[in-house]
Amino acid sequence: MRPISFKTETTKGTARTGILSTPHGDIQTPAFVPVGTKAGVKGILPEQLLSLGAQVVLANTYHLYLQPGESTVKDGGGLGNFMGWSGPTMTDSGGFQVFSLGAAFGRTITKIAKGEEDTVTQGVSVFDEEVQSQHGQLAVIDEQGVTFTSHLDGSLHRFTPERSVEIQHSLGADMFFAFDECTSPTEPYAYQKEAMERTHKWAERSLKAHRQNLEANRKQGIFGIVQGGRYEDLRTESAKEIASMDFDGFGIGGSFSKEDMMGALQAAVQHLPKEKPRHFLGIGEPGDLLLGIAEGMDTFDCVAATRLGRHGTIYTKRGPIHLKTEKYKSEHEPLDTETIIPGTEGFSRAYVSHLLRSGEMLGQIIASLHNLGFIIRLVDEARAALHAGNFDEYRRDFVYTYYGRTL
């Protein structure tokens, strides 16, 4: 008996709802997964996550390995107990940090190359700020793994597929990802193919390392990751290869442009087993979430909601707004009159703008809470629309209201 299982409930074309069962509870899908990089969602308490409707939390293997160390988390009862969260948990593999420490170090590059509509970030990268440090750049990739320097003190470290799995066994999340190489969206075809083939080899080694640990195999599920950049033929090849392996679920890695996202996603999803869950890594822009749901993805994670909130941008049904700008200093209406998030009631745009402009931590917390609640509710409403049979209309109306355009 595997520790996780997936059951489809309703379908609408390629979109679907389901139940992802884990050792720490069921997840109603599609679902958004808040990111608690260092075993904590920035500015949000575990009980607040519950009030927002969060069902599962994802933490970062690279960061927890460096600080406080996987043994500390293990001795604390595993990720969930350590952070005071009783629900399901996930960890990534550290592969994206290899990407951010290497080719993309110090540059405002995300997993998804931005289109013209992506003004929401106000120049904010979705990379962890901690990765961009004064210690210089080093991430040397070879066929066996990656050698890199710590952003904390410049010390030298090495990840292999086996080491990544070993760390994630100690962290003890219900679900974790095989070690992969996440490339920049701007990398040429030849390198995307090389990185994809390396990811396939690392996937085999990650899976073998997991299955050999009988105790972990009973408690944790492992997901393989599809790569291939923006190229549909590579995505197809990668999906077929990863799907042929005995993973418990599958992740779609980033590394494509906005224009290529749908094609790359469609090329991958059609070759993945329908009876297993699919996770879209690093996806948090509202329109991208609805696109992912339409194309059959089940879960999503991204740091953008809290990252943007800390920098003063909030989501509203009419599109994102940046509260630090002058016009919001005297707007005494709610943050979003159409979406009131638990824990933010009674706070006006003018008040939160004042806090943000003054550098007060409370402003960042309120904005982060609002954004995370907005995104979780968006996905929850999409799931309800799928159950009701009107997802296409829901998505069309949201996109028109939020972006001011039709699908």
Domain positions in the chain are: 5-26+50-298
The candidate with the shortest Cα–Cα distance to 175, out of 92, 55, 90, is 90
Beta-strand runs (E) in 261-323: 278-280, 299-302, 313-314, 321-322
pLDDT band of 104, cuts 50, 70, 90 = very low
pLDDT of 128 above 50: no
Half-sphere exposure of 401 (CA within 13 A, CB side): 12
pLDDT band of 99, cuts 50, 70, 90 = low
Residue 10 has φ and ψ, to the nearest 5°, of -135, 155
Report domain 5-26+50-298's class: alpha beta
pLDDT of 59 above 70: yes
pLDDT at 7: 98
- Cα separations (Å) of 225 from 121, 249, 280, 281, 283? 27, 9, 10, 9, 14
> What single-letter DSSP state applies at residue 130?
G
Tokens of 13: 């074309």
Catalytic annotation, pick one of 92, 260, 298, 336: 92
Query: Which whole number is the average pLDDT over 141-159?
Result: 89
151-160, 226-235, 312-321, range with greatest mean pLDDT: 312-321
Query: Which whole number is the average pLDDT over 61-67?
Result: 95
Answer whether 89's CB lies under 8 Å from 58's CB.
yes
CA angle 287, 292, 297 (to 5 degrees): 155
Answer whether 376's CB lies under 8 Å from 340's CB.
no
> What single-letter DSSP state applies at residue 334?
B
pLDDT of 52 above 90: yes
pLDDT at 94: 86
**pLDDT tens figures, 346-393:** 999 999 999 999 999 999 999 999 999 999 999 999 999 999 999 999
pLDDT at 114: 54
The amino acid present at 319, given as its one-letter code, is: G
The candidate with the shortest Cα–Cα distance to 104, out of 131, 135, 122, is 131
**pLDDT tens figures, 260-291:** 788 889 999 999 999 999 999 999 999 999 99
Q: Cα separation of 191 and 182, whole Å?
A: 11
Tokens of 93: 């593999």
pLDDT band of 120, cuts 50, 70, 90 = very low
Is position 233 annotated as part of the catalytic site? Answer: no
**CB count in 10 Å sphere of residue 194:** 15
DSSP H helical ranges for 314-360: 349-357
Q: Cα separation of 44 and 83, whole Å?
A: 12
pLDDT at 122: 40
Lowest pLDDT segment from 9-23, 38-52, 86-100, 187-201: 86-100
Catalytic annotation, pick one of 118, 301, 336, 380: 301
Query: Which whole number is the average pLDDT over 142-148?
Result: 91
- Cα separations (Å) of 132 from 97, 128, 201? 11, 8, 29
The candidate with the shortest Cα–Cα distance to 190, out of 238, 148, 234, 223, is 234
Query: Which whole number is the average pLDDT over 116-127?
Result: 41
Is position 75 annotated as part of the catalytic site? Answer: no
**CB count in 10 Å sphere of residue 404:** 10
pLDDT of 107 above 70: no
pLDDT of 302 above 50: yes
- Of residues 23 and 142, the one with the higher pLDDT is 23
Radius of gyration of the chain (CA): 20
